[in-house]
Amino acid sequence: MDYISTRDASAQPRSFTDILLTGLSPDGGLFMPAVYPSITPELLNEWRELLLDDGYAALAAEVLKLYVDDIPEADLEAIARRAYRTPVFADEEIVPVTRLNDQLHIGHLSEGPTAAFKDMAMQLLGELFEYELARRGEEINILGATSGDTGSSAEYAMRGRDGIRVFMLTPAGRMTPFQQAQMFGLDDPNIFNIALNGVFDDCQDVVKAVSADAAFKSKYSIGAVNSINFARLLAQVVYYIATYLKVTESNDEKVSFCVPTGNFGNVCAGHIAKQMGLPIDRLIVATNENDVLHDFFANGEYRPRSAAETYATSSPSMDISKASNFERMLFDATLRDSDLTRELFANRVKDGGFAASDLGGEEVMERIRGEFGFASGTSTHADRVATIKRVHDEFGVLVDPHTADGIHVAEQLSGDVDTPIVVLETALPVKFADTIAEAIGKAPEVPERFADIMDAERHVTDLPNDAEAVKAFIAEAIEGTNV
């Protein structure tokens, strides 16, 4: 399997382990497989039995083998077994599914160590990074940005691992107290928390600016775990397949997914699964008040907003106005036109965005809504609070604010969708206690494994929203620690 950049499809292809450690392409683009492997009905039948008999880790290994040809298959199987096991995940199914009614299901992705769906990818990335770095005799310094859950998932997956340091940028004051405690409470010599004066998009811009400095990136072995790293999307493809198999009885059935999203990585994994041939009907993008993506799917206008225009909401992991992985989907939608993709995301986005007319014809939007199956909706604070209360009262299920956004949008569009809809859970309610208390009149129960998390001493460095300041901090930290 070869991997190419969204901004220069003619460049020398790379192997999986190369893009695993590189993260962002040197030209600023995102890596994609040169071709998508196919899921045939026969293969899906095999996977249906495999999931039932051998579990999630076995399925994950088989999906990995389709995309990874430079790690021995036996090693991939061992990597998957280490990543997806109890007690790392609280449920032996890894991804259990709850049926709310005849049409609506919840895919539970938050059974991992940080109670967020990001654990589904990060636990696998931790194993892949450690394996490949040991094989090469190298080390890596991971630079990431988080709006809440990516940071803690990455840090818990990478803490204590040989050859790895993590530098995680957070928007100061923009995460819930529980999210901050999860990250800032870690006292590991290879973990560095940095709070920037800005919003998530500012943090992401700094990550990209540092990664774009080729000399610095090379000297300090900078890598990525944000969803700009294709390996993370690959891990997420697995739970689309697993959830589909649990909701259906035969391959003749189609399933739709409603995905709360801000950075487009989660739903982009669904797009990849659909392109592989998984029988997905609709991919419904659920946004909060930061509804840039909804504007695009509804009106054909992609206009990222400034930090000042990005709202702080009660579903903070979606407080994002520049969706990094959106580039991957449009690369496919424009039939992999890397010149156009580069123009759109290297230039037009900086100048305010672009419209459907800039994509090369109305057939591109028709492909996105038709062949690709994308639809969208949006949710407000009042919507999510009401949804949390109603789902709790009606079904006895307590969901977090982001998942509530997904349920609200799924129900809005259910009349236009003929297939079951799986809402992908974002996190456990405990991470958003204030909003849960507003909705149901009491705080959510704290799982035993998180009982003392709020009591830990905080470890975080405040820095200005400036790439040079971040680079200076990284250089000093690397020179002062061994991993």
Continuous segment of H or E residues that includes residue 33: strand 31-33
Q: State yes or no: is 118 an active-site residue.
A: yes
Both tokens of residue 76? 């991939």
Query: Coil, helix or strand for 380?
Result: coil
Within 8 A by CB and 6+ apart from 74, the residues are none
Judge contact between 285 and 259, C-beta under 8 A. Answer: yes
Both tokens of residue 8? 């220069």
Which candidate, 213, 304, 203, places its Cα nearest to that of 28? Answer: 213
DSSP 264-300: SHHHHHHHHHHHHT--EEEEEEEE-S--HHHHHHHHS
Judge contact between 31 and 5, C-beta under 8 A. Answer: yes
Q: Which residues of 310-343 are buried (b: 16+ CB within 10 A; e: fewer)?
A: beebbbbbbbbbbbbbbbbbbbbbbeebbebbbe
Which candidate, 165, 109, 173, 172, places its Cα nearest to that of 140? Answer: 165
What sign has the CA pseudo-torsion 268, 270, 275, 281? negative
Q: How far is CA 256 from the centre of its chain?
A: 18
**Helices within 306-459 (DSSP H only):** 326-333, 338-342, 362-369, 381-395, 401-413, 433-440
Query: Coil, helix or strand for 76?
Result: helix
* Distances 382 to 185, 259, 315, 388, 406 between C-alpha atoms, Å: 32, 19, 12, 10, 14
Both tokens of residue 38? 């196919």
Which of 118, 217, 246, 471 is the catalytic position?
A: 118
- Cite the active site residues: 118
